[in-house]
Structure 1
Amino acid sequence: MNKCSDNSHWEALVSCPHSSTALPPLLLLPGLYCFDFQPNPMILREIAWKQMTPKGNIGMSIAEGHFRGMKELLSTMEPETDANDVKELKQRTHMLCARFLGGAWKTVPLDQLRISRIKGGMSNMLFLCRLSEAHRPIRNEPDKVLLRVYFNPETESHLVAESVIFTLLSERHLGPKLYGIFSGGRLEEYIPSRPLTCREIALPAMSSKIAKRLSKVHQLEVPIWKEPDYICDALQRWLCQLMNTPTGQNSFLLPSRYSQWAPAQLTCKDIARELDHLR
């Protein structure tokens, strides 16, 4: 059933990931959720857009159209461009950090806000945002955060579910703290680290630790859509995009080392039949 609920307002209290108290009630407006718990993307965008607009005199108002979207802005940047040289990016980042973090982030001058690109994201762009040594935190706000900007077209339709999961993982100390969610991305705790290599993941001791952590994630009671259709739906979309691309391949030669288990060649039609079988 896909009919939206009635006009009554609902309140949801979400535990704050870095405090023992609860966040102020989050008002879920009419039409935000449907009976099948699928979020309404248009209303989500509208709410997030309003939440991003600063009430104080911090930068320029997004609602007035003075800033381009973060995603649009970043898509025009050259890969090796220093983020600190892009004034609009610094202004936009300053506004987000000031709104969500407060404290020293509200008063830091642009020339004392440092932004550096973190490479390695597959579907997101990541930036380390930090205060300079001359401008230190006032209270308990962090002096550095991770800015994540979504570039995966599939992310927006699953933004509510992803945000709920991320918040719960943060609250259970299974993930970084969540400082803010905005239309097109979020602000997270910055944890100095690096990805595990394939060799490290294959180590029995490491695999055992990963499995134990993953089991805790799977045991969480999460108020999201429970049908296991995300992967199949994503594969179906990608396959359709490939088949509708004039320059896309329709057949693929598989490495000979897989010949014992797979055919020498795989076509898009073969993949489509496999997806139908999996469903």
Structure 2
Amino acid sequence: MQSLVESMEQSHKEKANEWCRQYLKGPWSTIGRDKIHVELLRGYGLSNYLYKCTIPSDETPKASSIPSNVLVRIYADVLANPGGSFLETAICALLAEKNEAPKIYGICQEGRLEEFVQDLIVMELCQSRTLNVDDLRSKTFGVEIARKLAEYHCMDMPLRKEPIFLLETCEKGYDLANYFCEWTFDYRYEEFPCFKYSPDNYPTKEQRQKFIRTYLSCYKEYKSASVEGKKKIEFDLLTEIERLSIFCHFFWAIWRLFNRGNPVTNLDFWTMH
């Protein structure tokens, strides 16, 4: 199993190197293949393979429009299809235009090249690392995440809003439910099964109420509602989140089925979910 994982990782690194030299201009397209440093980024999720690609400091581009490092995102099996990857990339491109997502430098059927953002999600707080389960449960990050989720959900995007799948009919509730479910999983484990499940860490009713009040405070309908009206909006959303929590587990179980032959994501998802 280990040799298969190492072989896949080496193949991905070669692919990332090739994409950088193919899509990026300046020194990226002229320096030798062996001068591009490709580093696997671990702990950034399970549905994509992320690689940071960097050129030597003495090859740093003079033009500010040419990056000295980029992020190469290679889709896992569940995303390696034209429809799913195209839609995801289209949404990311639209968000990038609004300065709400990294710039996109190149698009392939198997993945894409993105701007490398040193600090993820909450730049002034994250301090050059990805968020972990402790961050998700902290009050500081919770407030920022609630506001960002509301901002994304309220964003005016030139995309069809009509539901075409069960979860899309309740997108807001599903996103919030999935966020709360993530409180119970810690992925900072390299040994099998590569996570720790702590159901007692699921947010309490009081914690959920505080979070959704911050989330809803970004909506005009909520801010202009009466006291009783706000209570009803909160109750309805909390009820929706509670009902959709099971779909979060169902979705990740389906994800595991799609990736059952993938050695990198070969986790014990039957126990996990």
TM-superposed CA distance for 1:102, in Å, is 0.6
Aligned residues: 161
Structure 2 equivalent of residue 102 of structure 1: 25
Once the two structures are superposed, residues 249-271 of structure 1 have per-residue CA deviations (whole angstroms, 9 ceiling, x without a partner) of xxxxxx8999xxxxxxxxxxxx8
TM-superposed CA distance for 1:147, in Å, is 0.5
From the superposition, tell whether residues 206 and 164 of structure 1 become closer, same or farther in structure 2 (CA, over 3 Å): same
**Distance in 1 of aligned mates of 2:32 and 2:200:** 59
Once the two structures are superposed, residues 229-276 of structure 1 have per-residue CA deviations (whole angstroms, 9 ceiling, x without a partner) of 54649xxxxxxxxxxxxxxxxxxxxx8999xxxxxxxxxxxx8xxxxx
CA contact (8 A) 1:167 1:178 kept: yes
**Distance in 1 of aligned mates of 2:20 and 2:100:** 23
From the superposition, tell whether residues 82 and 134 of structure 1 become closer, same or farther in structure 2 (CA, over 3 Å): farther
What is the correspondence of 1:82-231 to structure 2 with a 5 Å cutoff? 86=10, 92-120=15-43, 121-140=45-64, 141-154=66-79, 156=81, 157-192=83-118, 193-230=128-165
Once the two structures are superposed, residues 157-190 of structure 1 have per-residue CA deviations (whole angstroms, 9 ceiling, x without a partner) of 2223211211122222222221111111011111
Instruction: Say which SS state the counterpart of residue 146 (structure 1) adopts.
Output: strand
**Distance in 2 of aligned mates of 1:257 and 1:91:** 40
**Distance in 1 of aligned mates of 2:50 and 2:79:** 18
From the superposition, tell whether residues 91 and 149 of structure 1 become closer, same or farther in structure 2 (CA, over 3 Å): closer
**Distance in 2 of aligned mates of 1:101 and 1:218:** 33
CA contact (8 A) 1:126 1:148 kept: yes
The alignment's TM-score, normalised by the length of structure 2, stands at: 0.50
**Distance in 1 of aligned mates of 2:78 and 2:151:** 29
Instruction: Say which SS state the counterpart of residue 98 (structure 1) adopts.
Output: helix
TM-superposed CA distance for 1:148, in Å, is 0.5
Once the two structures are superposed, residues 7-34 of structure 1 have per-residue CA deviations (whole angstroms, 9 ceiling, x without a partner) of xxxxxxxxxxxxxxxxxxxxxxxxxxxx
Between structures 1 and 2, the one with greater helix share:
2
CA contact (8 A) 1:164 1:222 kept: no
From the superposition, tell whether residues 196 and 93 of structure 1 become closer, same or farther in structure 2 (CA, over 3 Å): closer
